[in-house]
Chain A
Amino acid sequence: MSAGPYNYSYIFKYIIIGDMGVGKSCLLHQFTEKKFMADCPHTIGVEFGTRIIEVSGQKIKLQIWDTAGQERFRAVTRSYYRGAAGALMVYDITRRSTYNHLSSWLTDTRNLTNPSTVIFLIGNKCDLDAQRDVTYEEASKFAEENGLMFVEASAKTGDNVEEAFLETAKKIYQSIQDGRLDLNAAESGVQHKPSQPGRNNLSNDQQGNKDNCAC
């Protein structure tokens, strides 16, 4: 086991939301494993994924909460929005109903996260253009009206998946640089690890040992 995975300076919490079957878990899987999961089981409550990315030379660990889309889990998943730095709101471009429900998902997101949370709208399954039910223009207009970032992606082909996750991270990182996002706020969804190798090593070492011995 190498120290590599722990070598990051920020943790961002993401939450993926949207109707059942729009491909939330598949997007996550594509992003973390770079693979398409053909028959993905229904998510129960919430599942997690992590990946470390790099933004402006900073290593950032994305802690992604992939929520269940089923209506019966709605109350449960509402508990999980809190403290998300990024929210990926997903609909299926081949099913209009999933697009129509976006306003309800958006309301939940706005109510349950903080104002600095970056909301990214993803129109999934763009590989199925022949069955398209929602035009790009329409969704783009909706995103613009609501101040959302927007992209059409495909969890199957991997188109724009990486971009959606990375753009969100960039926007969050920008907010941190601008000072719009307060790192010290409990619900910012960002954890900063001000680890500076070579400093305080000794004291840390001693403390660590002490902790291990004291029961």
Chain B
Amino acid sequence: MESSDSDNFESADEDFEFEKFEKGSNTTKHHHPVPKSDTAKAAILIPKAPPSTDVNQNKKETSESETLTPEIVNSDKSKSEGSLIKDDEGNKQYQTKAVPQLEVAAKDTVKHDVEIEACDNSRGSNVTGDAQDPDDDSENLWNEGEGWGVDDESDNTAIPNVQGKEKMEASPKTAPIEEDAWSNEGWEIWESDSKEIMIPNPAKTDNQSNLDPKWKGWSNWGVSSILSTATQSVSTLTSSVSQGLSTVASTIESSIGAPEPAELALSNRAEKKSLPAEITSSDHNNKNSMGFGLSNIGSLVSGVSKLVESTSTKVISGGLDTLETIGKKTMEVIQEGDPGLKKKRAFLNLEGEKPVLSQVLREAKEKAEQENKARQEKHFAKKVNYESIFDDHQGLVHLEALEMLSKQCDMKLQLLFESSSGDALMEIQETLAQVKELCELPNEEDEEQLSLEELKERLASAVKELDVNITYDRLISMWEETECWLNNVNLSICDENELHQQAVETLAQLTAIAVEQFHKAGELLLIKDHHSTADEADSLVQLTTTLTSLIGIAASKFSDKMNCKAVGDSNKESVNSLITNIFYEAANSSSYIQDAFQLLVPVIEMGAV
């Protein structure tokens, strides 16, 4: 919070407005707060979009704003919430994306608006200063406005008057927008802004309607020079805005229309002439003690200023509309041929983060194949290649499919994040955090020697807990065969290269089956109706640790045999390097299995949310 002073002040003001609104609430409803909600939206969204805004963060902030709103605006709850929710669902996405690029343009537009006024009148520079100074608190703005009122009495031209009033009333609105856009200070600022933006509206609406009958009378005043000057000033304003963004001009013209500002100036002047003295006091009232005894004059002032204010609001919101249009267009271009930005999002969020394992493996495999070709040409014995065997057993393609599945889940979760807010979002985040916790693999376990029976039992219980139709029968029978082969292998016939080849094949096959079953588990989990996330996570952790220990066991059994071979062998060095290679491939196998498990985490998360 940048100043507690302004805070206190605003809450006092808010109380007043609230009270006033209660009184007048049954008088009128026809002056709807559309421009206001636009401004509110702008004040919320523009500052929230620094160029590198993270979508998640944005989301969080928006939700924060929603929780804030009801506390601040009680009577106006439905309206303000409505507008917030609307822009949350409808516009948030493109606004957050589009605004960073357009921020500069936005600044330009608003600045122009302000600068023109500065040229037109002497006091303007002060007001401008207020509007631009992010550190200025609202009280000062009000005081400035008050000063204006006094000055106006001696001032005979209508334009400064109009602009003065406009500035005075509008500055609480314009200033926060600029403030935030420039200082980018975050939510504290917005919090105070929101009070000003949303609350005064109903009260003023009320006054506005009280005022209406009088307008006809004033129109007979017929001060044509004022009228034309006013028109001129409005058109200057218009053109200055259009300098930045040409579309704004038409937006303003269509939304304001020429007669309205003229009339506005007229009435404003009339009011000043007839009630020179009261204005100051009523202005003062406006600021501090408006809660009691609102005279007709007071309502005149605020009624007129309301008009001016709405004009300036329209100018601003017109500019914002244009920004919106540009933002939408930008988004359209970005989204072309990519609805929901799925691909681009996936590209930015996911592909950037982790290397694609199946791709890495494929490259490794290809390199090894080339190498083999070369060896063959040199009449070397073909060297067994882990990746090729892994691919032969469809391990690679299952891994690739699992990656696609995982990515899809990640994207869906991302979309879910973006489409939810408030408590729902909190809940999702909590759930996901819990899932992540459940899916933490235990640190390197001690090398435990699993017997075949233990292996079967563990895998069976894990699969049962997972409650999907996968089976490790193929893995078990394969391991059975391998153990059998190992027990019966005749070391006098089988040379170390053959042993090594068998070891690598076994490791690659075991891993391929493990990955395949993980992939199947992922597919089946996604179509499962009822989820017990804790069981699923627990089961998959169990499977992962069991399978990696099996890999460890396989590697050590083979290397034991190799060691037997090395004893008394003159070729000890080459045997040792083969043993090293077996452990290297075993480590690879374990990490592939663990990576496959990690790919399942988003799948489990999908089931949990």
Contacts and interface: CB of A to CB of B under 8 A. Distances in A.
Q: What 5 pairs across the A-B complex have the smallest Cβ distances?
A: A45-B523, A201-B374, A208-B371, A79-B408, A6-B369
Contacts of A72: 527
A6 B372 contact: yes
B469 interface: yes
Contacts of B371: 204-205, 207-208
A197 B377 contact: yes
A36 B14 CA distance: 80
Contacts, number: 84
19 contacts: A3-B376, A5-B392, A6-B369, A44-B524, A45-B519, A45-B523, A48-B398, A65-B397, A65-B401, A73-B527, A76-B526, A76-B527, A79-B405, A79-B408, A195-B366, A195-B369, A197-B373, A205-B371, A207-B367
Contacts of A2: 382
B570 to A, nearest CB: 22
Interface in A1-54: 1-3, 5-6, 44-46, 48
Interface stretch (B17-25, B148-156, B580-588): B580-588
Interface of B: 362, 364, 366-377, 382, 384, 388, 392, 394, 397-398, 401, 404-405, 407-408, 469, 519-520, 523-524, 526-527, 577, 580-581, 584, 587
Given A73-B523, A201-B374, 14 more contacts: A6-B372, A6-B388, A44-B523, A46-B401, A72-B527, A76-B527, A191-B362, A195-B370, A200-B370, A204-B367, A205-B375, A207-B367, A207-B371, A212-B584
B608 to A, nearest CB: 17
A132 interface: no
Contacts of B523: 44-46, 73, 76
Interface string A73-98: 10110111010000000000000000
Contacts of B520: 44-45
Contacts of A213: 577, 580
B352 to A, nearest CB: 13
Nearest to B374: A201
Nearest to A201: B374
A130 interface: no
Given A76-B526, A79-B404, A79-B408, A48 B394 contact: yes
A185 interface: no
Nearest to A197: B373
Contacts of B580: 213, 215
A46 B369 CA distance: 27
A211 B373 contact: no
B503 to A, nearest CB: 14
| Max chain A Cβ within 10 angstroms of own Cβ: one of B370, B374, B394, B397 | B370
Main secondary structure of the interface of B (DSSP, over half): helix
A76 to B, nearest CB: 5
A207 B367 CA distance: 9
A45 B524 contact: yes
A80 B374 CA distance: 35
Interface of A: 1-3, 5-6, 44-46, 48, 63, 65, 72-73, 75-76, 78-80, 82, 191, 193, 195, 197-198, 200-201, 204-205, 207-208, 211-213, 215
Contacts of A211: 364, 367
B606 to A, nearest CB: 10
A66 to B, nearest CB: 11
A204 B383 CA distance: 14
Main secondary structure of the interface of A (DSSP, over half): mixed
B444 to A, nearest CB: 15
A73 B392 CA distance: 26
Given A44-B469, A44-B523, A63-B397, A205 B374 contact: yes
A3 B375 CA distance: 11
A80 B404 contact: yes
A208 B584 contact: no
Nearest to A209: B371
B451 to A, nearest CB: 29
A195 B469 CA distance: 41
B20 to A, nearest CB: 54
A184 B320 CA distance: 42
Contacts of A48: 394, 397-398
Contacts of A44: 469, 520, 523-524
| Max chain B Cβ within 10 angstroms of own Cβ: one of A198, A204, A205 | A204
Nearest to B505: A1
B527 A215 contact: no
A79 B375 CA distance: 39
A207 B370 CA distance: 11
A204 B368 CA distance: 8
B581 A212 contact: yes
A214 B376 CA distance: 24
Contacts of A73: 523, 527
A24 to B, nearest CB: 16
Nearest to B392: A5
A73 to B, nearest CB: 6
Nearest to A82: B404
A215 B526 CA distance: 36
B382 A208 contact: no
A76 B401 CA distance: 10
Nearest to A71: B527
Contacts of B367: 204, 207-208, 211
Nearest to B583: A215
Contacts of B366: 193, 195
Given A3-B376, A44-B520, A75 B526 contact: yes
A41 B191 CA distance: 61
Contacts of A65: 397, 401
